[in-house]
Chains A and B, each alone.
Chain A
Amino acid sequence: MTEVEIIRDRGPRNYSRRKFIKGVIAAGATVSASSYLFRGPGVLTAGQARGGVERLMTLSVNGQQRRVDVLPYETLAMTLRYKLGLTGTKLGCDRAECGACTVHIDGVSHYACSMLTHQVRGRAIRTIEGLESPDGELHPVQQAVMDEGGFQCAFCAPGFIMSMAEFTENNPGATREQCAQALSGNLCRCGDYNKILNSAERAVEYMSQRA
């Protein structure tokens, strides 16, 4: 069992090299680090390498410009959930495996758990909260899900719906099989795939009516 101990003892290799001064940014309209997740490390000052990313950034989320303080190693899912309050984006695995965190970046589906927020600076982010129209009208995909009776536990639903929205917006007349391929990056542990595909087919139909 000694090897096991050795592994445990692999301490932080470079951690001590960094010098962090802890504190909290106070910044007017900015969603600051006083949000939940990354309060501790605070502002990088003396130890910060030249040329590293600027923490203070503007994110375009669901059509709104949001100023936010983002650590260099922060994932988009964490920024959305813990700094912008957009908890519809779910963390099911945090490893790009389950799809519950699927969001659109410039109209393309990505796993928000597996990209750094700094990678999407200047790009248009759409989350499940941004699908409904401002007057509360459901997106055709959401309406289709509603009309098919939806999901079971629905923890996967926001991710599935985002994948379905991207696909149906870009693939009019798609078949059930094509929908299945498009949704193959999302996992549903209730196993509700048949109903999900029924919803997807209906969504294709609604999208064509909207067009």
Chain B
Amino acid sequence: MAEKAIGRDIAPPDLRAKITGRARYAEDFRAEGMLFAKLLLSPMPHCRVRRIDASAALAMEGVVDILTADDPMMPEITGVAAEAALTNEPLYEGEPVLAVAAVDETTAANAIEAIRVDFEPLPFVVDPLDSLRPGGPNARLDGNIQWREGQTREIREFKWTDADFDAAGPDRLPMGEPQVEFNIGDVEDGFGDADLVLEETILHQSLSHHPMEPRSVMAYWQNGKLYLHTSTQSTARTHASLANRLGMDQSDVVLVTEYCGGGFGSKISGAPINDVAAIMSRKTGRPVMLRITRYEENSIGRARPGFQAFAKMGFRNDGRVTAIDLYIVQDAGSYGSSGDFNTAGSVATLNYQPDHMRFRAVSVYTNTPPRSAQRAPGGAQIVAMLEPIMDKAARELGIDRLAIRRLNAPGEDAWLGPNRGTLTSCFAREALDIGAEVFGWEERSRLSGTRRGTKAIGVGIGVSPFVGGSRGMDGLLVIRPDGKLYIHQGIGNLGTHSIADTGRAAADVLDMDWNDCEVVWGDTSRNLPWSSSQSGSQTTHAHTRANHAAALDAKAKLQEIAASVLGGSPDAYDCGDGRVFQASNPGRGMSFADAAQRAIDMGGRYSGHELPEDLNPMTVASANNLAGEGLIGVARDNYGGEGGVWSWVMGFAQVEVDVETGKIDITEYTGVTDCGTVLHPRSLAAQIHGGAVQGFGQARSQKWVFDPQWGVAFAKRFYTARPPGILDVPLRMDWAAVDLPDPQTPVGAKGIGEPPIGAGAAAVASAVADALGGQCLCRTPLTTDVVLAALTGTEQPYRPLETHV
């Protein structure tokens, strides 16, 4: 018996390359005759290009070509609020207008400087509430919201009334007509049942993803095919979206994306900017490198949408939530249709299981960079917003803050959303209990409000659920005559180690030593199967299933081959240690190497010449290329299942707030997860802790600043945007997992990328409020200025709903 791969710490197969500098990210590739492209960005938040004078630039020695939005070679991007790579009507400061290619980057930069663009300023808005005012500016010429009704999608102008604003006053959220609304029960009945009702105005900032690797791209064309190196979270899905954007057949695009220097939701599938390198290369007939700078990354690189919100929660005396009334105004940025606000509503239902709830929201375009999913989109915001209110309720009701969470936490009968969807599994209470134990809640909560010198101690809990799975993807494996198992992965290598870890499902089904398994990934010319996107924490769930299914297919073929050679029925055979053998007589069997050779000889389904009919065309194309090279295991995940797949992290934090300076130290952190079966403990710990660190940034330091008069962004440097450094987090962090399998998936594993961030953010927000004696500031980030103003009773630096500060 080979040692099971699932549940062990095994270094990922790409680690050595990563730590020796050999791993090649997009900007590390070179090609003969490569040109450098450079972008010209919009200096204004909203404007129209009236005229471009590039004559001086094009006359410069070494300048090869220019690409503008009008170039006939640029793909036509259709769809409501769809985003092209270059535009003649920039919707935010920093949006790319044109690109120049030159023989070197300095020349390209000089050329950009020599281009004169005549911009006509257009009305702009950076605060959603300003846009909702009667007569307020719209971010787009055709309106300020994306209206959705049935299949209809259109940009509309959406305004509230003066009465809506007057009723709220300056510092409370006006609540005019919502764009979306759902009701569960009757929220007023719920407040009628309540012994305590709390009401808060809440601000949650927008924040950039800041992946370490900017989305640089290098492209060239050869024999009619596009070869493109870029930084993306997904491989198969990016391949598809890239081909689709460019109007090409997927088979004419080779995407190389062996490594991705972080995405966090900002690089799910192909970035629009990829078009620039692809088309510039087609136009010039030469390879083109578009090195994206940090400044550009912070313009085009996406951000989590911020919320301006109202939350009212009713509680019984025992702490049970009776009703939630939630109103969210989402900053939708300039493009697309970020669904964070809707997800936030659903997560609120799941987290507190209220009998009565009203959810209202409007998502308003602004002339700020495009938003996208960021780890737990909507979820991370809402738990950071509502968990401190749970604390406040517990404090007012005189009950323990862990107890109030246990009481409200979903159990076996968990549901979510207006349609009361069910879940495949939920061990939220178990995770809370383990967390209380590991963190030492009972002891630590006694420190609450105590002092260490000038430092007030606070402890907090953040309950954070998020989706963790999808179904129906393909697995593709080859057992070659060398006896090794080749696990082909169409999933991207975004740093979660899932390219390897999901493959363990296949190794264990075949009882193969992990050392005899090779992972094939990151280059679509290497025959990769169709996959989920690497977003929404789908991958662990989707691809342990797909690889499991493909491995069962391979195993059945091994058994059949063995039976045909050695006699008896296929069921009499088992697999282990690279052999297929008779269970009753293990000595009688054959090696995988021999079986692979037999499979090639036998052809048909064994060698991949016949394939299941339900595979995605990408998998079929890859399997066709592999046919005859070994025993092919290939299958679509048809395991099915009922309900949504959700995972949890319970964050427990301890902070010290210096009452004289407002400085916050996060001194302790424990994250405990329910993500089903643990595939790879150390990697799981990294997700829990890494997500928490991002959550610490969200709760405490990360800024997204605009000058409201000029509509121009400031926090575009790391030192102004302030993502956490190594000294801003606890010196040591702890973790644990419930480690109970999800019963609806063969390996039992659920995804875990998303929930850690909300857990970290909410636990810290809750702990800071605790250190402040229960004062919930109801805003993020809790920067030194905000905290000190609260501690000293000084005027707050910002009004409660003042955004982009």
Whether A and B touch directly in their complex, counting CB atoms under 8 A apart, is answered as yes
List residues of A whose CB falls within 8 A of some B CB: 1, 4-5, 7-8, 11-12, 15, 22, 36-41, 71, 81, 85-95, 97-98, 100, 127-129, 131-132, 138, 142, 145-158, 161, 176-177, 180-181, 183-184, 186-197
Q: Determine the distance from Cα of A38 to Cα of B733 in the docked complex, in whole angstroms.
A: 46
Q: Does B327 contact A (CB under 8 A)?
A: no
Question: In the complex, which of the residues B43, B710, B733 contacts A194, with contact meaning CB atoms closer than 8 Å?
Answer: B733
Q: Does B572 contact A (CB under 8 A)?
A: no
Q: Does B152 contact A (CB under 8 A)?
A: no
Cβ of B22: which chain A residues have Cβ within 8 Å of it? 88, 129
Q: Determine the distance from Cα of A128 to Cα of B28 in the docked complex, in whole angstroms.
A: 14
Q: Does B105 contact A (CB under 8 A)?
A: yes
Is A152 a contact partner of B495 (Cβ separation < 8 A)?
yes
Q: Does B211 contact A (CB under 8 A)?
A: yes
A22 and B212 contact, Cβ closer than 8 Å, known pairs A97-B719, A154-B19, A191-B690: no
Is B724 a contact partner of A191 (Cβ separation < 8 A)?
yes
User: Which residues of chain B (101-115) have a CB below 8 Å from chain A?
Assistant: 102-107, 110, 113
Question: In the complex, which of the residues A37, A41, A81, A153 contacts B212, with contact meaning CB atoms closer than 8 Å?
Answer: A153
11 residue pairs bridging A and B, Cβ less than 8 Å apart: A4-B44, A91-B27, A92-B212, A97-B717, A97-B718, A145-B19, A149-B12, A153-B211, A155-B261, A186-B726, A194-B686
Is B691 a contact partner of A191 (Cβ separation < 8 A)?
yes
User: Which residues of chain B (622-650) have a CB below 8 Å from chain A?
Assistant: none
Is A22 a contact partner of B62 (Cβ separation < 8 A)?
yes
Is A100 a contact partner of B690 (Cβ separation < 8 A)?
no
Question: In the complex, which of the residues A92, A177, A186, A197 contacts B294, with contact meaning CB atoms closer than 8 Å?
Answer: A92
Is B260 a contact partner of A8 (Cβ separation < 8 A)?
no
Task: Say how far A200's CB is from chain B's closest CB, in angstroms.
Answer: 10
Q: Does B183 contact A (CB under 8 A)?
A: no
Cβ of A128: which chain B residues have Cβ within 8 Å of it? 19-21
Q: Determine the distance from Cα of A12 to Cα of B21 in the docked complex, in whole angstroms.
A: 37
Is B729 a contact partner of A38 (Cβ separation < 8 A)?
no
Is B725 a contact partner of A11 (Cβ separation < 8 A)?
no
User: Which residues of chain B (718-733) have a CB below 8 Å from chain A?
Assistant: 718-719, 723-727, 729, 731-733
Is B19 a contact partner of A153 (Cβ separation < 8 A)?
no
Is A153 a contact partner of B20 (Cβ separation < 8 A)?
no
Scoring A90, A100, A128, A147 by chain B CB atoms within 10 A of each residue's CB, the highest score goes to A90
Task: Say how far B682's CB is from chain A's closest CB, in angstroms.
Answer: 4
Is A22 a contact partner of B61 (Cβ separation < 8 A)?
yes
Q: Determine the distance from Cα of A3 to Cα of B24 in the docked complex, in whole angstroms.
A: 43
Is B34 a contact partner of A155 (Cβ separation < 8 A)?
no
Q: Determine the distance from Cα of A193 to Cα of B686 in the docked complex, in whole angstroms.
A: 9
Scoring A86, A91, A176 by chain B CB atoms within 10 A of each residue's CB, the highest score goes to A91
Nearest to A144 among chain B residues (CB) is: B19
Is B682 a contact partner of A149 (Cβ separation < 8 A)?
yes
Q: Determine the distance from Cα of A101 to Cα of B22 in the docked complex, in whole angstroms.
A: 14
Is B733 a contact partner of A148 (Cβ separation < 8 A)?
no
Q: Determine the distance from Cα of A196 to Cα of B291 in the docked complex, in whole angstroms.
A: 28
Question: In the complex, which of the residues A4, A22, A85, A155 contacts B262, with contact meaning CB atoms closer than 8 Å?
Answer: A155
Cβ of B121: which chain A residues have Cβ within 8 Å of it? 1, 4
Q: Determine the distance from Cα of A180 to Cα of B259 in the docked complex, in whole angstroms.
A: 27
A146 and B727 contact, Cβ closer than 8 Å, known pairs A39-B62, A39-B103, A40-B62: no
Cβ of A192: which chain B residues have Cβ within 8 Å of it? 686, 689-690, 693
Cβ of B25: which chain A residues have Cβ within 8 Å of it? 90, 155
